[in-house]
Amino acid sequence: MQTRREMLAHSATVVGLLGAAGMLPAAAQAAWNEAAFSAKTLADVVKAMGGGAPAESKDVTVTGPDIAENGAVVPVGASSSAAGVKRLMLLVEKNPNALAASFDLTDKVEANVTTRVKMGQSSNVYAVAMMGDGKVMYAVKEIKVTLGGCGG
Q: Exactly one of 112, 122, 140, 141 binds other proteins (CB under 8 A); which one? A: 112
Q: Binding of other proteins at residue 22 (CB under 8 A)?
A: no
Q: Exactly one of 107, 121, 132, 142 binds other proteins (CB under 8 A); which one? A: 107
Q: Exactly one of 117, 128, 130, 139 binds other proteins (CB under 8 A); which one? A: 117
**Residue 106, amino acid:** T
Provide the sign of the torsion angle of the four alpha carbons 113, 95, 117, 34, taken in this order: positive
If the CB atoms of residues 43 and 48 are measured against other proteins, the closer one turns out to be 48
**Residue 65, amino acid:** P
Compute the distance between CA of residue 136 and CA of residue 128 in angstroms, rounded to an integer: 7
Q: Binding of other proteins at residue 132 (CB under 8 A)?
A: no
- Cα distances (angstroms) measured from residue 23 to each of 7, 47, 80: 21, 31, 34
- Cα distances (angstroms) measured from residue 128 to each of 41, 43, 49: 12, 11, 11
Q: Binding of other proteins at residue 81 (CB under 8 A)?
A: no
Q: Exactly one of 35, 50, 55, 118 binds other proteins (CB under 8 A); which one? A: 118
In three-state secondary structure terms, 45 is helix
Q: Binding of other proteins at residue 148 (CB under 8 A)?
A: yes
- Quick check: 126 and 139 in contact, CB under 8 A? yes
Q: Binding of other proteins at residue 97 (CB under 8 A)?
A: yes
Binding site for other proteins (CB under 8 A): 7-8, 11-12, 15-16, 25, 27-28, 30, 32-33, 36-37, 64-70, 72-75, 77, 92, 95-97, 99-110, 112-118, 144, 146-152
